[in-house]
Amino acid sequence: MRLKSRIPGAFLAAFFALAGAASAQQFVTFGTAGVTGVYYPAGGAICRLVNLGRKDHGIRCLVESTGGSVQNANAIRDHTLDFAIVQSDIQAASLQGTGAFAAEGPDTELRSLFSIHAEPMHLMAHAEAGINGPEDLKGKDVNLGNLGSGTRVLAELLLKYVGLAPDDLSLAADLSSTEQVPALCDGKLDASIWVAGLPNASAQEAVSTCDVRMVPLAGDAIDRLLAENPAYAAAVIPGGLYTGNPDDVPTWGPKATVVTSARMPDAAVYTIVAAVFDNFEDFKKLHPALERLTPQDMIKEGLTADLHPGALKYYRERGWLQDTDL
């Protein structure tokens, strides 16, 4: 004896239509960093614009919080992420197989889409810690950033150029952005290094919660660092941006860049790029760090890896790049 279904036919039709639509969608993953930094909301802004048009192009973008630039570059290399944000210096190192990627060798499939915001280094120190410059970190309890992050790479580079090593510190911590503020304010750290776009939520929390100030990073050692490492540039943290820090703070850092692999289909990359630049004014409003961006800078600055053909196709259609520009 056959039992009659109690599920209305219209419901079943709608269910199977939705299932078919879901199966037709292409999901892409977008690696960022910790949720309190700028990478996570910047990646979220990109995915938000992509997802607004998913009915037309069939791509759904999923943001993933990660350990940061080094982890992201490795995930692009081993195909566990489709797109990611990485520091410009980490992009160069992954492409060339140097630094953190010396064991793996060059990632010849790494490709660029565009750069986004500058990422000044924040050296945040307790006012009473006696830290007036990076040379004063010797013998102090300092957070150098979590392992696998671009911050960690830059923190160790900074120490090298001021004649120090992690072993010269009383404590070389590897805390994430969310862990560093409680440690600073509870007196477990004298200082913390963080590389992030402006303004940074973690840095703002630190200066608002306890007596923390931004330490300037300038002088002969920094000049030499910048001269020998062209992936970085001098930067300024504007006075008044952070509570209790009224004066401009000289510093330096890389740029955040969006990357993928050569294996990524041209159409998917084109869709990501178009979602950003077809809605550029909306994109800039989605986070304060994005406000001053220009397409002309984004498609050229901080990009060591070749542009992906999908991105190149879009830029040529807009008249922003010609064959002679490459």
Give the pLDDT mean for 218-236.
91
- The CATH number linked to 94 is 3.40.190.10
Q: What is the number of domains present in the chain?
A: 2
Confidence of residue 318 (pLDDT cuts 50, 70, 90): very high
Domain boundary residue, one of 230, 253, 276: 253
pLDDT in tens, 163-198: 999 999 999 999 988 899 999 999 999 999 998 888
| CA-derived radius of gyration, the chain | 22
Let me know whether 224 and 260 are in one domain: no
Q: Tell me if 169 is assigned to some domain.
A: yes
Residue 24 confidence (pLDDT)? 63
| Burial (Cβ within 10 Å: 0-12, 13-18, ≥19) of residue 319 | exposed
Let me know whether 111 and 259 are in one domain: yes
Let me know whether 126 and 249 are in one domain: yes
Let me know whether 132 and 243 are in one domain: yes
Q: What distance in Å separates the CA atoms of residue 19 and residue 2, rounded to the nearest whole number?
A: 26
Q: Tell me if 18 is assigned to some domain.
A: no
Let me know whether 84 and 143 are in one domain: no
Let me know whether 106 and 213 are in one domain: no
Give the pLDDT mean for 86-94.
93
Residue 150 confidence (pLDDT)? 83
Residue 323 confidence (pLDDT)? 66
State the residue range of the domain holding 215.
121-253
Give the pLDDT mean for 104-117.
96
Confidence of residue 10 (pLDDT cuts 50, 70, 90): very low
Helix or strand or coil: residue 42?
Answer: helix
Let me know whether 33 and 54 are in one domain: yes
Q: What distance in Å separates the CA atoms of residue 302 and residue 251, rounded to the nearest whole number?
A: 17
H or E segment and range at residue 155: helix 150-161
Whole-prediction pTM value? 0.74
Beta bridge partners of 193: 123
Q: b/e map of 248-275 (b: 16 or more CB within 10 Å)?
A: ebbbbbbbbbbbbbeebeeebbbbbbbb
Give the pLDDT mean for 32-38.
86
Domain boundary residue, one of 253, 282, 312: 253
Q: What distance in Å separates the CA atoms of residue 307 and residue 180, rounded to the nearest whole number?
A: 35
Let me know whether 80 and 229 are in one domain: no
Let me know whether 193 and 263 are in one domain: no
Let me know whether 176 and 191 are in one domain: yes
